[in-house]
Structure 1
Amino acid sequence: MSEGEKARTSGEVSRPEPTLPTVNPDAQKSEPAKAALHPAFYVSTWIALSSSVILFNKHILANESAPFPIFLTTWHLAFATLMTQILARTTTLLDGRKSVKMTGRVYLRAIVPIGIFFSLSLICGNVTYLYLSVAFIQMLKATTPVAVLFATWGLGMSPVNLKVLLNVSAIVVGVIIASFGEIKFVFIGFLFQIGGIIFEAIRLVMVQRLLSSAEFKMDPLVSLYYFAPVCAVMNGVTALFLEVPKMSMTNIYDTGLVTLTANAMVAFLLNVSVVFLIGKTSSLVMTLCGVLKDILLVAASMAIWHTPVTALQFFGYSIALGGLVYYKLGGDKIKEYTSQANRSWAEYGSTNPGQRRAVVIGAIVIGFFLFVGALAPSYAPESVDRFRGALGSASTGNA
């Protein structure tokens, strides 16, 4: 079609002829509007599930009778395989897979290699819980965008850009400072976490390259539908050689069948929540939610497991988080969003002064309790120990 024909077609579409209504306008107006959940619901759900999975895994693997991280991630993937198969046959959540042109050849050449790196990242990530605290793990995870950037360059997805490298340098510097401040530094755990970050970065870049084709557009749940089976098999084979010979049914019973089922269900629901979060929020919201989640996990680690976090770590981690937000959004976007937020906050205050005052007071109260809870191990260790004991008894189903 020529450029002139395109222009005429565009002009015709933009000025439609009046037509007779096919629906009674009065009846259409009387139809009640469908209730929609506020985006804050999806945000809070994702933060709660994401944090719960990490804390849940750490709680299970901290138990001396269940130091089997590879078996645990195999169980998660097997459960996810079962649930995605059920959802594909009973709901519309996985209808997106019908538009994916998946063949045996594509599965072997694309899905399986990505699944290998997915398995390696999950194995390394879970093994790290045996050596490092949740707080320090979250600090190290701040370097994931840097690893993804290097993987993108290494796999030829984009040219090397020194300006971008300078932008992410703050993240690296912050994490290095935080690592020097870590009191319980375990080198083997550090290596496992770095390995997990590298494998995850390679996986993300390979997925990006796969999804660059329109015929392979997949949401996170459809991706799980394809990747979970192959990862479950790979992790299962690894666990069969490394962990199963040391395991017995006593280990599983000590952990609790209910606990393992709940753990796998929370991990699966996290993948479901990501689908809704992506569709209901913006990149700004997702970036800030990720930062908030990491901060809450550091505070939770300090409160539940007495994790010591030094002032040097706080300083380094603050630099890393600031660099992460700047890298994700850019200076211009940050200024734009900040000015928009200030205007919205001022307008909200002029129309709802009482509600704004309540929001400020609520934020101060929540921040105070988070701060006090994080410092609880230093001034109320017995109370924290009692809380941890009650948490352990509840999760294993004991009285």
Structure 2
Amino acid sequence: MALDPEEGKPEEVVPLASMKDGEPEPSTSASLPPPVSAAPRPKPKITTAVIVPIWMAFSVSVILYNNHLYHTLDFKFPVFVVTWHLTFAAIGTRVLQRTTNLLDGTKDINMNKDMFLKSILPIALLFSGSLILSNSAYLYLSVSYIQMLKAFNAVAVLLISWASRIAEPNRRLAFIVFMISFGVALTSGGELKFNLVGFIIQACAVVFEASRLVMIEILLHGMKMDPLVSLHYFAPVCALFNLMILPFTEGLAPFYELGRIGPLVLISNALVAFFLNVAAVFLVGVGSGLILTLAGVLKDILLISASVALFSAQVSPMQVFGYSIALAGLVLFKTTGTK
């Protein structure tokens, strides 16, 4: 879904003055010059060597910050946190739309009621479920183990794609499915603090996320929406959906804790998450498929290492071996030309 948006058509304007310096003023009876096209503002240039570390830093920071919020600060309200992030993102994307050209891709999308109800709404519901479940898993499982389980996302996407008949299975993909599944099974077998509730929640999050990705391929096929454009459309819908279920999940409890947490923590936490999406736009724009894959693998390794160093997470030798197999399968999957 992270594709480069096409440049929006520049706005036509009538110039305030058409004279060059030193030229005499034309008579009032002269006709106005025809409208000219304003030159589009160029997008900021940034190199791969710069954006990859920035994206990795924000990606790792979001997860570690959320984990710090849930455990160190004892603010165990993932539904509220996700709702706050989405609300902040909905406002942030609209501010950027009016002040920058980062969301010019919205000009190429003809959003109407039919498209909203049949495409945006069902994908947004899956997106919301994925975010809530994946954040809730951090209450039960370590950051390192959750990252290892996320390697199974690729398998879930393949299986749902095959079931939906939008992709055909073959021996190579079947081998990749077996390779990743075997690696993830070893990491689960080697988990020293296994929690069944957390495992089930994360497994459901994987199913929701994989379904969302397949649904995007089916309903938004051929539409160019980069991470910020997608967030622009999905964040408000997800935030409203979360607000509807918040009273039945966490109630007013998170609001009573806001005074203890303070606005600085909440705003900085949402800013880090929002800047991750901004960095993702530039990353997709400059990075090849191989670079994106290797950056993602390196980010996961750094995140697991940071989890061990900062939160004393325990990683067994069997998990290291199993995750190495899963990562090899993941790299193989993402470099075979499969979306």
Q: Structure 1 length normalisation: TM-score?
A: 0.72
Corresponding residue number in structure 2 for 1:47: 56
**Which secondary structure does the structure 1 equivalent of 2:279 belong to?**
helix
Corresponding residue number in structure 2 for 1:221: 228
The Cα shift of 1:239 comes to 1.4
Q: Deviations over 1:372-399 (max 9, x none)?
A: xxxxxxxxxxxxxxxxxxxxxxxxxxxx
> Paired residue for 1:98, among 107, 129, 146?
107
Residue type at the aligned position of 1:221 = L
Alpha-carbon separation, structure 2, partners of 1:248 and 1:46: 31
Structure 2 residue 302 is the aligned partner of structure 1 residue 296? yes
Corresponding residue number in structure 2 for 1:371: none
Corresponding residue number in structure 2 for 1:246: 253
CA contact (8 A) 1:65 1:255 kept: no
Corresponding residue number in structure 2 for 1:139: 148
Q: Deviations over 1:163-215 (max 9, x none)?
A: 311222111101100100001100000011010011000101111223323xx
Q: Deviations over 1:252-304 (max 9, x none)?
A: 12222101101101101111111110110100000000000000011001011
Corresponding residue number in structure 1 for 2:181: 172
CA contact (8 A) 2:141 2:194 kept: yes
The Cα shift of 1:36 comes to 4.7
Alpha-carbon separation, structure 1, partners of 2:44 and 2:190: 49
Structure 2 residue 216 is the aligned partner of structure 1 residue 207? yes
Structure 2 residue 139 is the aligned partner of structure 1 residue 130? yes
> Pairwise CA RMSD of aligned residues?
1.8
> Paired residue for 1:234, among 232, 237, 241?
241
Corresponding residue number in structure 1 for 2:27: none
Corresponding residue number in structure 1 for 2:117: 108
Alpha-carbon separation, structure 1, partners of 2:188 and 2:105: 42
The Cα shift of 1:87 comes to 1.1
Residue type at the aligned position of 1:286 = L
Alpha-carbon separation, structure 1, partners of 2:87 and 2:255: 19
Residue type at the aligned position of 1:38 = T
Residue type at the aligned position of 1:319 = I
Q: Name the structure with the higher helix share.
A: 1
The Cα shift of 1:220 comes to 1.3
CA contact (8 A) 1:170 1:320 kept: yes
Identity %: 48
CA contact (8 A) 1:111 1:226 kept: yes
CA contact (8 A) 2:152 2:180 kept: yes
Alpha-carbon separation, structure 2, partners of 1:261 and 1:231: 19
> Paired residue for 2:265, among 236, 259, 268?
259
The Cα shift of 1:245 comes to 3.4
* Superposed counterparts of 1:274-285, under 5 Å: 274-285=280-291
CA contact (8 A) 1:73 1:123 kept: yes
Number of aligned residue pairs:
296
CA contact (8 A) 1:66 1:252 kept: no
Alpha-carbon separation, structure 2, partners of 1:167 and 1:307: 28
Structure 2 residue 232 is the aligned partner of structure 1 residue 185? no
Residue type at the aligned position of 1:310 = S
Corresponding residue number in structure 2 for 1:391: none
The Cα shift of 1:65 comes to 3.9
**Which secondary structure does the structure 2 equivalent of 1:115 belong to?**
helix
Alpha-carbon separation, structure 1, partners of 2:120 and 2:173: 30
* Superposed counterparts of 1:299-338, under 5 Å: 299-330=305-336
Q: Which is greater in Rg?
A: 1
Alpha-carbon separation, structure 2, partners of 1:137 and 1:255: 25
The Cα shift of 1:50 comes to 0.5
Residue type at the aligned position of 2:319 = Q
Q: 1:324 to 1:35 in 2, by over 3 A?
A: closer
Alpha-carbon separation, structure 1, partners of 2:230 and 2:161: 20
Residue type at the aligned position of 2:64 = L
**Which secondary structure does the structure 2 equivalent of 1:297 belong to?**
helix
Corresponding residue number in structure 2 for 1:194: 203
CA contact (8 A) 2:133 2:204 kept: yes
Residue type at the aligned position of 2:333 = Y
> Paired residue for 2:91, among 41, 60, 82?
82
> Paired residue for 1:154, among 163, 183, 188?
163
Corresponding residue number in structure 2 for 1:69: 78
The Cα shift of 1:35 comes to 9.7
Alpha-carbon separation, structure 1, partners of 2:254 and 2:283: 38
The Cα shift of 1:63 comes to 3.8
**Which secondary structure does the structure 2 equivalent of 1:299 belong to?**
helix
Alpha-carbon separation, structure 2, partners of 1:36 and 1:80: 23
The Cα shift of 1:146 comes to 0.6
**Which secondary structure does the structure 2 equivalent of 1:118 belong to?**
helix
Residue type at the aligned position of 2:313 = T
Residue type at the aligned position of 1:234 = F
Q: 1:241 to 1:283 in 2, by over 3 A?
A: same
